[in-house]
């Protein structure tokens, strides 16, 4: 498509982009054209300005307080932050990056979890997959960094809105405290995925989007120890207990 020679089409697409009716791949393609073509970008901007007062006329809705807390966390400047390792975003970033770097190496370890000699051999680990799905496509084995012992398995189908957490050792639960699962996107604050149910072997956590969207940029997961019910601040407040790379299989 050569838009240069078709100013009318250019105008029409710019208008439909700003209105929102240009969708899907066409929208993405048009956005690439815009990046390379200042005239086109200006046409879109003109249209956005023409239509924008309509957005300002939309009825306001107060967002929940957690949105602001999450934003503060992500810009690394919450007004009140707990001290210690959790206050240090770089720690989380590095954890995420390190985990993604290690991912390839650890893949073998995850697939063939071998008994740690000379300790008593743990039973071979089998991840049971719901029968109506071929297999989980996102998988993490979270282990204790000191002992390297796998403690939890986290999995999700790529188009599923549920994340399954399997507890390999029920003894990991601490009375009156909760284990909270976190996604570790590189360069960003950890995002809570929910609290691991203490009484169940399997916990299903609801995702805000299908796994493919929710985990597009999440190379690692971690579990922290939190007050009962989960972190009150939206960010981890207790020690990190288990971590592991989060991999997409197929």
Partner 1 sequence: MGADPLVALLAACAQSDRAAFEQLYRQTSAKLFGVALRIVRQEDLAEEVLQDCYIRIWNRAGDYREGLAAPMTWMASIVRNRSLDWLRRANPEVIDVDGEIIERVASDGEGPLAALERLQDGAALAHCLRELEAKQRQAILLAFHDGLSHSELANHLREPLGTVKTWVRRGLAKLKACLGARPGS
Q: What are 151-157's contacts with CB under 8 Å, separation 24+?
A: 151/223, 151/241, 151/242, 152/196, 152/223, 152/242, 153/125, 153/127, 154/181, 154/221, 154/246, 155/127, 155/129, 156/207, 156/211, 156/215, 157/133, 157/211
Minimum CB distance to partner 1 smaller for 56 or for 126: 56
Between 40 and 141, whose beta carbon lies closer to partner 1? 40
Closest separation in Å from C-beta 61 to partner 1: 4
Pair 139, 249: CB distance under 8 Å: yes
Minimum Å gap between C-beta 95 and partner 1 is 20
| Beta bridge pairs of residue 155 | 139, 164
The residue among 168 and 189 lying less far from partner 1, judged by its C-beta, is: 189
Minimum CB separation of residue 12 from partner 1 in Å reads: 6
**What are the residues binding partner 1 (CB under 8 A)?**
11-12, 15-16, 19-21, 23-24, 27-28, 45-46, 48-64, 66-68, 70-71, 74-75, 77, 159, 208-210, 213
Residue 204 Cβ vs partner 1, minimum distance, rounded to whole Å? 16
Q: Residue 136 corresponds to which tokens in the numbers above? A: 């989980």
Task: Select 89 or 240, whichever has its Cβ closest to partner 1.
Answer: 89
């Amino acid at each position: 498509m050569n838009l240069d020679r078709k100013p009318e089409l250019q105008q029409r697409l710019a208008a439909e982009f700003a209105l929102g009716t240009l969708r899907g791949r066409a929208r993405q393609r048009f956005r690439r054209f815009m990046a390379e073509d200042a005239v086109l970008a200006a046409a879109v901007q003109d249209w956005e300005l023409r239509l924008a007062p309509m957005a300002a006329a939309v009825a306001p809705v107060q967002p929940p307080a957690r949105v602001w807390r999450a934003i503060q966390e992500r810009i690394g400047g919450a007004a009140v932050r707990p001290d210690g390792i959790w206050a240090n975003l770089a720690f989380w970033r590095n954890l995420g990056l390190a985990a993604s770097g290690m991912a390839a190496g650890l893949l073998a370890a995850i697939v063939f979890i071998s008994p740690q000699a000379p300790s008593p051999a743990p039973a071979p680990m089998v991840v049971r997959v719901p029968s109506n799905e071929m297999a989980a496509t996102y998988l993490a084995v979270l282990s204790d960094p000191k002992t390297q012992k796998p403690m939890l398995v986290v999995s999700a189908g790529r188009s599923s809105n549920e994340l399954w957490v399997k507890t390999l050792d029920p003894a990991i639960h601490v009375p009156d405290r909760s284990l909270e699962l976190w996604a570790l996107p590189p360069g960003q604050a950890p995002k809570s995925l929910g609290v691991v149910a203490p009484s169940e072997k399997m916990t299903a956590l609801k995702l805000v989007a299908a796994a493919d969207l929710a985990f597009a940029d999440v190379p690692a997961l971690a579990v922290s120890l939190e007050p009962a019910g989960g972190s009150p601040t939206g960010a981890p407040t207790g020690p990190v207990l288990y971590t592991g790379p989060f991999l997409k299989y197929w």
